[in-house]
Amino acid sequence: MAILPQRHPSLNHARIAPPTRIHSSATAPPRPRRPNPSPITLDPAPAPRPPLPNDPTLRSNWSHRTWLASGCTTVLISLSKSIEAAAASHTYLEPILAALLGYVLADLGSGVYHWGIDNYGGAETPVFGAQIDAFQGHHRWPWTITRRQSANNLHALARAVAFTVTPINIICGDATALAFVAACSGFIMFSQQSHAWAHMTKSKLPPVVAALQDAGVLVSRTQHAAHHRAPYNNNYCIVSGVWNEVLDGSKFFEIMEMVIFFRFGVRPRSWAEPNAGWTEEDEDEPEATSLLS
């Protein structure tokens, strides 16, 4: 006979009490607040100042003079080879017409280049950064170009002419082509000089320069002054200025700006409201007397 295990009577009616929650009335000590750091203030960048009359940046050095001499020599070689070839072939009309074409296209080239560096890029732009920065300063202090010595003003373009025209002189012997190259490169190289003359009053110009301005051969002060007035988007050409009316009347540069904006999303500076970098400041310093070197 099997014996069944008996249940303990106290376990049959025992109830297991739910666990008791223990509440603590103690509160955690507040965390110490960190002191608010004092705001960092940055000193504003000093406002750019115009060059002084005897500022070294306006003076020519031997490097500037060497490059200007190299550019002039290169142009003279082109011209002399053209004259020699024309005399040998008894061909004179074509080289003369080519030289006139070079002169006219130099004015167009000066306008396109001037428009580009006025509106795009900055001081950090490769190759052209220094000229872009210089032209932005020129808009604020245009009278400084009349204080800049000639070799200082022309050496950058003279260097470009020397590197570009020298190979042409070596490989080309055609009178017409060389006449075009000599005239176009020569007027481009000296475009900054005609630009400087356009900022000088007629009483301070050499008589021959004043006569050339009056004849329309060189850009005049009156014509170029429009470029330095709002909206700063016209009269870019600085050799003779003959292309200014054509380019401005046809909205050529405005069309180019729209094309660049829709293709690359880059806005030209002329679309922005004129700021301190574009607003001309009056000349306060006495005018320098030595401009040629």
- List, for residues 26-35, the tens digit of each pLDDT value: 555 556 565 5
- pLDDT number for residue 11: 45
- Residues 179 and 86: their CA atoms lie apart, in Å, by 9
- pLDDT number for residue 131: 85
- pLDDT number for residue 229: 86
Residue 290: inside a domain: no
Range of the domain at 126: 56-268
Residue 34: inside a domain: no
- pLDDT number for residue 232: 83
User: Mean pLDDT per segment of 10 residues, for the chain of length 293 residues?
Assistant: 50 51 54 57 54 77 97 98 96 97 98 94 89 81 87 95 97 97 98 95 94 95 89 92 96 96 93 59 44 41
Sign for the CA dihedral angle at 124, 130, 132, 138 comes to positive
Give residues with Cβ within 8 angstroms of 260, minimum separation 6.
120, 266, 268
- Residues 120 and 87: their CA atoms lie apart, in Å, by 45
Task: Indicate whether this model's pTM tops 0.95.
Answer: no
Residue 105: inside a domain: yes
Burial 126-137 (b: 16+ CB within 10 A, else e): eebeebbbbebb
- pLDDT number for residue 143: 80
Q: Give the total number of structural domains in the chain.
A: 1
- pLDDT number for residue 286: 41
- pLDDT number for residue 138: 79
Residue 279: inside a domain: no
- pLDDT number for residue 292: 41
Residue 150: inside a domain: yes
Residue 30: inside a domain: no
Tell me the per-residue pLDDT of 63-110, one tens digit each, with 9 for 90 and over. Answer: 999 999 999 999 999 999 999 999 999 999 999 999 999 999 999 999
- Residues 103 and 240: their CA atoms lie apart, in Å, by 9
Residue 38: inside a domain: no
Tokens at residue 243, please?
Answer: 């292309």
Which whole-number Å values give the CA distances from 126 to 17, 84, 114, 267, in the listed order? 84, 40, 17, 19
Residue 94: inside a domain: yes
